[in-house]
Amino acid sequence: METRLYFLFGDILSNTLLGAIVGALAAFCFNDRWPMLAAMVVGMFASMLLSAIFGALLGILYGAFELMAPLMLTAMVAGMALPMSAAMEPLDPLQAAKIGAAIGLLVLAGTYILNAALRGKERQWTR
Amino acid sequence: MDALTSQKWDRAAGRYDLFSAGAEKRWAEAKQKFFAPMRGNVLFLAIGTGLDFQFFPPGQDIVALDISPEMIERARPRAAAYKGRIELRLLDVHELDAEEAFDQVFTACTFCSVPDPVNGLRRLHRALKPGGELRMFEHTGSRWFPFSMMLHLMTPISRLSGPELNRPTVANVAKAGFTVREVDNLYLDIVKTITAVK
């Protein structure tokens, strides 16, 4: 796990902020006139594009790769779940932003756990 | 010389330091450790603007290559400030014709961008003395879903201005004739150091 406060702060900030923005945008951009599947696919790709921009900009401060991996995952999960939910029933933007931020935190925690498992010397390498 | 690649990195040179600043900070300690075993005649491939020179142990004799004239110009003051000898050369790795000239080759975030990576690695293999070491600090594709899928999806975008994100660099090293000795994952299985021998 990242233990340096500067980078820990950057990881948390970027993931919660991206999740919140995706949540708020989902509440504004999608409604029950959208087919659920279309909302999910459009939401996911638009969010992933947003995560690339976010990663490139905040990467200047915190390092692009270590931001990009959890950010892409946050974008994918929040970008699918929240537009789908908005296509079922109207979402309150603030509530959606909070859910998005929570998704960002959960994804970051999951990435830290996976990183702890994968770090170090590999026994079998293919890539 | 691959003109397209050279021009791509010439265009990137102006913003290179800015966009690398976070990664340099994040990986400073790991890079110091990575470059610590430098010894003998060393070839360093793809110097960029010379940001990595600060991590080189002092007193080394290093030949440093890059494909971009603009990058080399920006690296010059950093090379001059190094307490040892760094000779900068403008060269495409695909055209490297040195034979058994170096004890070690170092690369740092290089083989995400070399257009024909296996051919480039074969050139490095030829340039090393028998028993010589290849040491790489690279980012690669991932074996793990969903990161593997995401890196594949992002590569067409990232390729336009810089690196590819889904390269199987460890497999490429083996394909080029090296014996892979060690792969050490630094971040997930994406950022890693690779040690291989001729």
Q: Per residue in B129-138, pLDDT tens?
A: 999 999 999 9
Neighbours of B85 (CB within 10 A): 11
Q: Tell whether A107 is within 8 A of chain B (Cβ).
A: no
* A126 contact residues in B (CB cutoff 8 A): 143, 168, 170-171
Chain-wide mean pLDDT for chain B?
Answer: 93
CB contact under 8 A, B27 and A120: no
Mean pLDDT of B27-51: 95
For residues B69 and B1, give the distance between their C-alpha atoms in angstroms, rounded to a whole number. Answer: 12
For residues A125 and B184, give the distance between their C-alpha atoms in angstroms, rounded to a whole number. Answer: 10
| Closest residue in chain A to residue B26, using alpha carbons only | A63
Calculate what percentage of chain B has a pLDDT beyond 70. Answer: 100
* A80 contact residues in B (CB cutoff 8 A): none
Instruction: Enter the DSSP assignment of B94.
Output: G
Mean pLDDT of B159-188: 92
CB contact under 8 A, A115 and B187: yes
Residues with pLDDT less than 70, chain A:
125-127
Query: Is residue B16 within 8 Å of B66, Cβ to Cβ?
Result: no
Q: Which pLDDT value is given to residue A127?
A: 66
pLDDT at B5 over 90: no
Q: Tell whether A21 is within 8 A of chain B (Cβ).
A: no
pLDDT at B195 over 70: yes
Q: Burial code of B24-41, b = ≥16 C-beta within 10 A, e = fewer?
A: ebbbeebbeebbeebeeb
Q: Tell whether A127 is within 8 A of chain B (Cβ).
A: yes
What strands lie across the sheet with B85-90, from one edge to the other?
A120-121, B179-187, B191-197, B128-139, B102-108, B41-45, B61-66, B85-90
CB contact under 8 A, A64 and B182: no
**pLDDT tier at B4 (50, 70, 90 boundaries)?**
confident
Strand-strand pairing, B179-187 and A120-121:
antiparallel
pTM for the model stands at 0.90
**pLDDT tier at B98 (50, 70, 90 boundaries)?**
confident
Q: How close A127 comes to chain B (CA, Å)?
A: 4
CB contact under 8 A, B154 and A72: yes
Q: How close B29 comes to chain A (CA, Å)?
A: 12
Q: Which pLDDT value is given to residue A39?
A: 96
Q: Which pLDDT value is given to residue A122?
A: 83
**pLDDT tier at B31 (50, 70, 90 boundaries)?**
very high
Higher pLDDT, B153 or B30: B30
Mean pLDDT of B94-119: 92
Q: Which pLDDT value is given to residue B145?
A: 87
Q: Which pLDDT value is given to residue A92?
A: 95
**pLDDT tier at B42 (50, 70, 90 boundaries)?**
very high
| Of residues A33, A113, A35, the one with CA closest to residue A73 | A113
* A54 contact residues in B (CB cutoff 8 A): none
